[in-house]
Amino acid sequence: NAGVTQTPKFRILKIGQSMTLQCTQDMNHNYMYWYRQDPGMGLKLIYYSVGAGITDKGEVPNGYNVSRSTTEDFPLRLELAAPSQTSVYFCASSYPGPSRRYTFGSGTRLTVV
Amino acid sequence: DQQVKQNSPSLSVQEGRISILNCDYTNSMFDYFLWYKKYPAEGPTFLISISSIKDKNEDGRFTVFLNKSAKHLSLHIVPSQPGDSAVYFCAARGTPDSSNTGKLIFGQGTTLQVKP
């Protein structure tokens, strides 16, 4: 059981470049999320999805886009990368319901230079 | 506007002693609280949770206490072990919106070091 798989694990981008962070889950979870973790700032929600075809903005969506064409996949697109997007990105998934026990991927460490 | 706050960035305790990690929140509408544990180069993993209708939940060495009047929760680890050394995140379930996702809002994290 793979859980939540994120690729790549590391990436260095130049300012202005674009890339897609991949996230796949095999638990048939309806809900999926993208968070970024900056030092001393905790986890900030970028985008989330409650099911295929449905996405919405979180707390820090600027500079990012998402899509959810299948239950399994929730890619995060960075357009025109900026140094402020240097961070560790985590994808997570969960079932609906009160407990909100997220399953996280292992993260993508992105550096924009 | 930090709705969930962990004011201690780090904590160091001796093996066998108690570790107490604290978390404060500002929104009285939060109804579910969770603790996640994170090792370096890994994603956070669920540790323990508590509903707002309870004031204590216990799971082995881990106990979470909730004081709703003070908007404060704490995680107690007894006895602490070197393998507990990690970053601990407190999280609260946000007020359900029209889509009822009730997204989690995380604190900044506290790095726990348990010394042998």
Model pLDDT for residues A31-58, shown as the tens digit of each residue:
999 999 998 788 999 999 999 999 999 9
**What integer best gives the mean pLDDT of chain B?**
92
Mutation for B interface: A31, A32, A37, A93, most B CBs within 10 A:
A37
The SS3 call for residue B59 is strand
| Distance between A95 CA and the closest CA of chain B, angstroms | 10
Residues of chain B above pLDDT 90, percent: 78
| Distance between A90 CA and the closest CA of chain B, angstroms | 7
Q: What is the pLDDT of residue A54?
A: 94
Q: What is the pLDDT of residue B101?
A: 63
How many other C-beta atoms lie within 10 A of the C-beta of residue A21?
Answer: 23
Provide mean pLDDT across the span A3-23. Answer: 96
Model pLDDT for residues B41-69, shown as the tens digit of each residue:
899 999 999 998 999 999 999 999 999 99
Burial category of B61 from C-beta neighbours within 10 Å (exposed 0-12, middle 13-18, buried 19 and up): middle
Provide mean pLDDT across the span B1-29. Answer: 93
Mutation for A interface: B51, B104, B110, most A CBs within 10 A:
B104
pLDDT above 70 (res A7)? yes
The answer to whether the Cβ–Cβ distance between A42 and B100 falls below 8 Å is no
